[in-house]
Amino acid sequence: MKRILIAAFLTCAFAQLAVSQIQTAKVTGGEVQGVVTEGISIFKGIPFAAPPVGDLRWKEPAPLQAWTGVKKADAFGPACMQAANSQGNTAPVSEDCLYLNVWTPARKPGEKIPVIVWIYGGGFSGGSTSISMYDGMGFAKKGVVLVSVAYRVGPFGFLAHPELSRESGKGSGNYGLEDMIAGLKWVKENIARFGGDPDKVTIFGHSAGGVAVNLLAASPVAKGLFHRVLCMSGGSFGPLRTSNEGGAGMGSPALKLAESTGEAFLKKLGAADIKAARAMSAEAIQKNIAGATGGGGFRPVADGYVVPSDLYSIYQARRFNDTPILVGNTSNELGRGNATAAQFEKQIKSQYGLHADAILSVYPHSTDAEAAKSSTGISRESSFSWSTWTWARLQSEKGKGKAFEYYYDYHAPDVDGSGHGSDVPYAFQTLSGGRGGAPKPEDLKLSDMISSYWVNFAKSGDPNGPGLPKWPAFAENDQQAMVFDAAPGARSVPNLDKLKAFDAYVSWRREEAKKSGGQ
């Protein structure tokens, strides 16, 4: 009898808890109904724009059609059109994909809880909100509202073309970024109904999502839609690409280059013009992507509108959206290199021109083992760490918001550094394997630390808080980073000699780009 009474009490308690959570909300378009799990209200698959199909393909997102009745919001919307789901996406793939998801701890509207808006990675060719690693429960349990927003990828999100530029009157090729902006506008207009604070929004992305939040931080079109920026392994401060050059550290393609890539893609499709391409099925377009861009992929464009020019110039001129930033990268972003000493030296000399000797002087390569390690290092600098460091420097020098930098180097002793994205499940508290096998207590401890820093930053613009190692703001004359390894703590920015050598190379590339009219 005692057990029966306890069970009845717990059932009533949980029922009361569910009732006290937000279960329905009136949003743009109509009313939605979510579910309550472990004291967190979850709404999945909320539409935030019209399906970008037919005549709406390759246009900025259009307002959605209102619905009648209550729409169930208990399952993820389709992932945006892409290749086979190799990244853990659990939803079907469709061109009709502009949906977002909300995890909120609020018990009633208007609580003004800080909001984090997650933007997934995937090389701008894939990715999805339904990937289990991106579950928002962990963040919501720590007292923030987590919103994940879908955006178009591949040619559906980033095809530029002269016809499309004329049609819009403001360039072309950034529909994926415009999807993110539409999602942020939805947040501004609706998140209070989920207990979120529209005046305390953090945009948060990894990899391509990190590049995207960097571009949004520099975009006048996104002004006022967010108040902090959190980036894991992203950034795009290199000079614009004006041809399909293979130089490391380059930024977005210039509009003219992107338009020529788009023209070539339409020829590959066998489409005479944009109207004909819009009449094709999404599947027919998708299967023609391979090799269509000379290996550069479809990605955000310096269209003169969403992305006015190269980001370095925008920051130098103080024309960016000035907020606090928290940025960082892992110690081994792209895997171990396998170049021999001779191959490494030949590669550097062919790729870095006049700056090859300066690069070689800071990357040891007298043996094959040294060359392999240095090959890993130069790929880290050219892909992410230089942009991370440059962003922190520019924000601290040109902006009012503070910059905080991190370096993630937590890995098993027999593993050569921390790979790309290995820090993401620690931030989301979605560990499944830790550093091999089930998560160990030290894995869970680090995950709790990193997620706490991220939540503190979303709440106040500063990651510091009780019980956490002090994380100093980045400054040009005191370049500190929080190093996440077996003994986390603030230290001088790692690999500074390599960053400075690579910086000199990118400065030279920037001057060369100016001469060719790319900036």
Domains and CATH numbers, the chain: 2-286 (3.40.50.1820), 324-515 (3.40.50.1820)
pLDDT at 21 over 70: yes
Least trusted range by pLDDT, from 85-89, 228-232, 462-466, 480-484: 85-89
Check if the beta carbon of residue 56 is closer than 8 Å to that of residue 62.
Answer: yes
Residue 13: predicted pLDDT: 45
pLDDT at 2 over 80: no
Transcribe 466-495 into DSSP letters.
TTS---PPPBTTB-EEEEESSS-EEEEPTT
Position 415 confidence tier, pLDDT thresholds 50, 70, 90: confident
- Which residues, including other chains, have CB under 8 Å from residue 428's CB and lie 6 or more apart? 133, 134, 135, 136, 138, 139, 451
Residue 436: predicted pLDDT: 55
Q: What percent of the chain has pLDDT over 90?
A: 82
59-63 own/partner pairs: CB under 8 Å, 24+ apart: 59/167, 59/168, 59/175, 60/168, 60/175, 60/178, 60/182, 61/98, 61/175, 61/178, 61/179, 61/182
More confident residue, 253 or 17: 253
The CA distances from residue 482 to 442, 472, 496, in Å, are 17, 8, 14
Q: What is the pLDDT of residues 440-472, one digit of tens each?
A: 999 999 999 999 999 999 999 999 999 999 999
Q: What percent of the chain has pLDDT over 70?
A: 92
The CA distances from residue 60 to 27, 55, 66, 180, in Å, are 21, 11, 19, 10
Strands of 172-323, DSSP E: 196-206, 228-232
Residue 307: predicted pLDDT: 98
Task: Report the distance separating Cα 434 and Cα 423, nearest Å.
Answer: 10
Position 249 confidence tier, pLDDT thresholds 50, 70, 90: low
Task: Report the distance separating Cα 390 and Cα 396, nearest Å.
Answer: 10
Q: Which of 175, 237, 221, 139 is nearest to 513 (CA)?
A: 237
For strand 40-47 and strand 35-37, is the pairing parallel, antiparallel, or unpaired? Answer: antiparallel
Position 19 confidence tier, pLDDT thresholds 50, 70, 90: low
Residue 512: predicted pLDDT: 76
Residue 514: predicted pLDDT: 73
Residue 343: predicted pLDDT: 93
Least trusted range by pLDDT, from 16-30, 190-204, 360-374: 16-30
Please list the active-site residues.
Answer: 207, 333, 420
Residue 244: predicted pLDDT: 62
Q: What is the pLDDT of residues 325-380, one digit of tens each?
A: 999 999 999 876 778 999 999 999 988 888 999 999 999 999 999 999 999 999 89
- Which residues, including other chains, have CB under 8 Å from residue 515's CB and lie 6 or more apart? none
Least trusted range by pLDDT, from 80-89, 158-167, 310-319: 80-89
Residue 245: predicted pLDDT: 56
Residue 154: predicted pLDDT: 96
The single-letter DSSP state of residue 290 is T
Sheet holding 24-27, edge to edge: 24-27, 30-33, 70-72
pLDDT at 8 over 50: no
pLDDT at 434 over 60: no
Residue 20: predicted pLDDT: 73
Task: Report the distance separating Cα 376 and Cα 335, nearest Å.
Answer: 6
Check if the beta carbon of residue 115 is closer than 8 Å to that of residue 200.
Answer: yes
Task: Report the distance separating Cα 330 and Cα 388, nearest Å.
Answer: 11
- Which residues, including other chains, have CB under 8 Å from residue 519's CB and lie 6 or more apart? 239, 240, 309, 310, 313, 510, 513
Check if the beta carbon of residue 493 is closer than 8 Å to that of residue 405.
Answer: yes
Check if the beta carbon of residue 493 is closer than 8 Å to that of residue 480.
Answer: yes
Residue 381: predicted pLDDT: 92
